[in-house]
Amino acid sequence: MSLGQIIVVLSTAPIDRGLSNTLGNLATNLGLSLKPYDQLGSIAVGNTHAQRWQVSRELAPTEREAFRKLASTLSLDLAFLAPAFNPSRLRILAMDMDSTLINIECIDEIADFAGKKAEVAAITEATMRGEIANFSESLRRRVALLNGISELVLEAVYRERLRPNPGATELLGAANAAGLHTILVSGGFTFFTQRMQRDLGFTETHANTLEIQDGKLTGVVLGDIVDASGKAMHVKNACKALGCKKTATITIGDGANDLLMMDGSGLSIAYRAKPLVKEKADAAFDRVGLDATLALIA
């Protein structure tokens, strides 16, 4: 069989031995052949079980979707890797914060303290789905609604509502131990990214700064906004500083403003993401935790 795309099945539970036949039947219906990629069978890395197969050629988008639909009915996640994918060449892990690294959209929770969560969250959702193309305009509209809120609310959100998503601590610990350059790049706020850097050990972080005067938010963002282009630029700058290509990066995100950062990376992962992001990413994690990344680079 000619060299083709690698399909990786990811699960929080041991993988059923009959899965190979199920995938094989789908492959046959699509005019493909399928075989085990290696002799290891199913492997367990931390909390994730993984098994790899190889198909006879690169999959078309409709074929990828067919495999993902089948996996979804079996409560499994999938990744599609290039035959030449080489984890040993990876140098950088770059990821989004809100709803990716952590369980909340910080701006929505800040707004909740002012009784404006529904209004702000509606704009956030439309932006992450890609329905509002101008992220900077969207962020300014949402931040303007925070005018007059006490800065103490930021600490309350961090202490009472923010939690790392499943597998985040394990992923960052392993990435740092392996010597990867870890970047948290967010359209959110420095108040939270700086604390995530302290708690999880990111090498560098980039986010937006809220203006605060007399102990209250003014509804203004200071300086240039970290939008989709800004995220991609920070990843590009890290690659340049380390002397590597973007193919040496792992990128993880959930919203439309992460797509430019994810494009062209060696491994792009959509974590509990919007449909547009899952469609374009190499891997989609809807059930496994962030530490399932380690099963893909083992």
Active site residues: 96, 98
* Element of type H or E holding 158: helix 152-160
Determine the Cα–Cα distance for residues 39 and 89; give it in Å rounded to an integer.
23
Evaluate whether 99 touches 272 at the Cβ level (below 8 Å): yes
Residue of 298, 291, 293 whose CA lies nearest to 47 = 291
CA distances from 64 to 26, 85, 95, 157, 207 (A): 11, 18, 24, 39, 33
Contacts of 275 (CB under 8 A, 6+ apart): 129
β-bridge mates for residue 213, sequence order? 216
**All residues at 6 or more sequence positions from 240 whose CB lies less than 8 Å from its CB, including other chains:** none
Closest CA to 221 of 247, 250, 196, 187: 187
Report the distance separating Cα 286 and Cα 288, nearest Å: 6
